[in-house]
Amino acid sequence: MIDAAARAKRVLKDNQITDIPALALKDISKSEGIRFALNDYPMGLWDGTLLFKGDKRAILINTHKGNAGRHNFTFAHELGHYFLNHQPNFNHDGQPIIRCTASDIDNNQKTREVEANLFAVELLMPEDSFRLYMAGAPIDFELIGGLANRYMVSKHACSNHILGFTQAPCVIFGLMVSTLQVLLSLVQRGVSCVKWKYFLMAQQRIRL
């Protein structure tokens, strides 16, 4: 598998991005000659598309679903496909494209989708600065909300990233009480060393 995070670090360095990378996505695209558009495509069952036309590229972001943080992640994910030199997997009206659905971005285990996500995570939340901002802080709603706001990403993406850095098993959840009870029940039965990757909707924290 390609070292996607290293590629993202390189892009950040080449573009001299040291502040909030999400604010630089459009400039990164322009510097590569990639045209882009963020539009509401209500009929589109996709979140992001990378179009190929000869040696030209374009990125479309479907803003119909999700929030700005989500759209930033999709944008970075499509840039990942571009910078990692992934090839088209779909043909739309004779035009080769890479088309990514929410499922592709959230859960897909295909190598190139995983690579594009790793690229997006490092591009938007660079490890070095991210670690600095989470150092010593408890994993709670305040931390996740603060970091998500700072890096202009969704709380879901942010909490996943935080869990990737944690050494101790922990649970982050924002689920219904009944689901919480199930999780606690699993923990009590010894199902503990698991990083539950879930988005946060309520101020809750558990350390196991």
Q: Under the rule (CB under 5 A), what is the footprint of Zn ion? A: 100, 104, 113, 116
Based on its alpha-carbon atoms, the radius of gyration of the chain, rounded to whole angstroms, reads 18
Q: How far is the CB of 105 from Zn ion (least distance, A)?
A: 6
Q: What is the DSSP letter of 173?
A: -
The residue among 116 and 143 lying less far from Zn ion, judged by its C-beta, is: 116
The residue among 49 and 159 lying less far from Zn ion, judged by its C-beta, is: 49
* Nearest residue to Zn ion, scored by beta-carbon proximity: 100
Q: What is the DSSP letter of 166?
A: -
The residue among 16 and 109 lying less far from Zn ion, judged by its C-beta, is: 109
The residue among 113 and 122 lying less far from Zn ion, judged by its C-beta, is: 113
Q: How far is the CB of 33 from Zn ion (least distance, A)?
A: 21
The angle formed by the CA atoms of residues 155, 161 and 166, to the nearest 5 degrees, is 120
Q: How far is the CB of 110 from Zn ion (least distance, A)?
A: 8
| Secondary element (H or E) of residue 29 | helix 25-31
Cα distances (Å, whole numbers) of residue 71 to 59, 150, 152, 194, 200: 12, 15, 10, 29, 18
Q: How far is the CB of 106 from Zn ion (least distance, A)?
A: 11
